[in-house]
Amino acid sequence: MTPDYKIFCLVPDLPDSTELEPFVAEMQANRWYTNFGPLTRRFEREMADFLLPNNAADIAVGTFSSATTALELVLKVMNLPQNARVLLPALTFPATALSVLNAGYTPVLSDVDAASWLLSPEIAKAALQDTSFDVVVPVATFGRPIDPKAWLSFQKETGIPVVLDAAAALGVQDVEPELITVFSLHATKPFGVGEGGLVVTADADLVKRAQSLSNFGFLGTAGVVQQIGTNAKFGEYYAAVGLAQLRRWQAVTEKRRQVAAWYSDMLPDGIQRQQGHDAFIPAVLCVFCDGKARHLTEKLASHAIQTRHWYLPLLHQHPALQCVDIVGGHAENLGVANHLQHGLFGLPFHGFLTKDDVAQICAILRDGIV
C-alpha cells in the first residue's frame, strides 16, 4: 500500500496469529501441507454447511488456488462443445474473461442492467435473439448477489447451463445447488484467506473432475494423468486461514454491516449505488455519479482519501481482450456499461473505517457534487 493515504480504499481483515495457531499447529502435527489434506477437506465441509445450512449434504464444495483457476477448470470439465461461446457481462473483473479464454472458449460480452449493474436473465434472453452461446457466466459485480432462482429458471427454460461468478460475494450470495457457483477467497475479498477459490454445486462429480485438473489431471490410479491438468491446488495453510476466518466471520461481517449503514445514512443525493444496496453488504463500495467520478476522486485524494476504479476499463477495452466477441457485434451495444464507466468509482469500504471517516468522506462528496 502506498503510505500517502490517510484512509485506504480496502484493508483486508484476516485472522491474527492467535486465531490461526490451533489450525497451523494441527497442520504441523499432520505434517501434511497441501494435496487435499485433512484441513482442506474439513474447510470444504464447513463451507458447505456455511453456504447451505442444514442442507450441506446436497452440495459439494471444492477448493482451488484461486477463483480464476476454479472457473477455468470448471468450464473445462462441463463437456462444452469445442470453441464454446460464453456469455458474460462487459463490466466485471477481467479474470472472468481470462478464465474463459484459458479454458479455450470465446467470451461473448453483454451489457448490464441499469439498476443492478449486473448481467440479468432478461439481458441474456434478449441476447439469444442476436447471437448464440453455450453457457452464461453472470457476475456478482462489486459483490452484489445474483438472483440464483431467476438464473435457475433461465437454465431450465433455455437449456443453457449457468455458472455464477460470485467471486466477490461469498457471505452474501445464496447458493442454488442446481447451478455452479464460484467464489474467491482472495485477500481483498470480504471472506479472504490470501489466495483461493471455491466451486459449489450439487454435482459432486463435476467438482471431483475439476479438482483432478487442479492436481495434474490425476484421477483414479495414483499419479496417472487422465486429463491435461495443471497445479491449482489450495493447500493446507490457506485451509487453516479459512477455518480461522469462518470462526470470526460474524465479527468481520458485523463491522462491515455497520460501515455500510453509515454510508447509507450519510451518502449525499446524487451518488447512486447498486439496486437493493441496503439488502446486502458489498465487497467494494462502487458508486456512480454521472460524469463526476474524476472530480470527486480528485477531491477525495486531496484529503488523502484513496479511491479505486474497480473493474474499469470495460472488458473489451483491455489491449489483450480485443479478441472477445460482443452481443450484436459492436461495443455501442453495451449502452449501460458504456454509460456507467464514466461515473463509477470505488469509495473506501472496509471494517476498520470509523463513523468519522465515513462522515468525512460523505461531506467531501456533498461539497464536490454541487
What are 89's three cell numbers? 457481462
Comparison of 85 and 366: residue with beta carbon closer to a copy of itself: 85
Say which amino acid occupies 154: F
How many other C-beta atoms lie within 10 A of the C-beta of residue 357? 17
Least separation in angstroms between residue 94's CB and a copy of itself is: 5
| By the rule CB under 8 A, 242 interacts with a copy of itself | no
Q: Which residue number, 102 or 258, has a Cβ lying nearer to a copy of itself?
A: 102
Which one among 129, 223, 279, 370 touches a copy of itself, defined by CB under 8 A? 223
Query: Nearest 10 degrees: CA dihedral of 50, 194, 233, 213?
Result: 80
When asked if residue 238 is in the footprint of a copy of itself (CB under 8 A), the reply is yes
Query: What long-range pairs does 13-18 form, CB within 8 A, spacing at least 24?
Result: 13/190, 13/192, 13/252, 13/255, 13/350, 13/351, 13/352, 14/187, 14/192, 14/193, 14/194, 14/241, 14/245, 15/241, 15/244, 15/245, 15/248
Choose between 225 and 251: whose C-beta lies nearer to a copy of itself.
225
Q: Which stretch binds a copy of itself (CB under 8 A): 49-57, 59-67, 278-286, 294-302?
A: 59-67
Residue from 191, 216, 263, 280 in contact with a copy of itself (CB under 8 A): 216
Candidates 129-137, 146-154, 234-242, 362-370: pick the segment binding a copy of itself (CB under 8 A). Answer: 234-242
- Judged by CB under 8 A, the chain residues 76 through 105 that form the site for a copy of itself are 94-95, 98-99, 101-102
* HSE-CB of 270 using CA atoms within 13 angstroms: 13
d(CA 246, CA 242): 6
Map the footprint of a copy of itself across residues 282-341, applying CB under 8 A.
309, 312-313, 318-321
| 90 and 314 Cβ atoms separated by less than 8 Å | yes
Residue 158: how many other CB atoms lie within 10 Å = 15
Q: Does residue 224 touch a copy of itself according to CB under 8 A? A: yes
Q: Is 28 in the site for a copy of itself (CB under 8 A)?
A: yes
Q: Strand 197-201 and strand 325-326: pairing?
A: unpaired
Distance CA 177, CA 123 (A): 23
65 is a site residue for a copy of itself (CB under 8 A)? yes
**DSSP code, position 193:** -
Shortest spacing between CB 112 and a copy of itself, in angstroms: 18
Q: Does 106 bind a copy of itself (CB under 8 A)?
A: no
Q: Which residues bind a copy of itself (CB under 8 A)?
A: 1, 11-12, 14, 16-17, 20-21, 24-25, 28, 31-35, 65-69, 72, 94-95, 98-99, 101-102, 186-187, 192, 194-195, 216-217, 223-233, 235-238, 241, 309, 312-313, 318-321
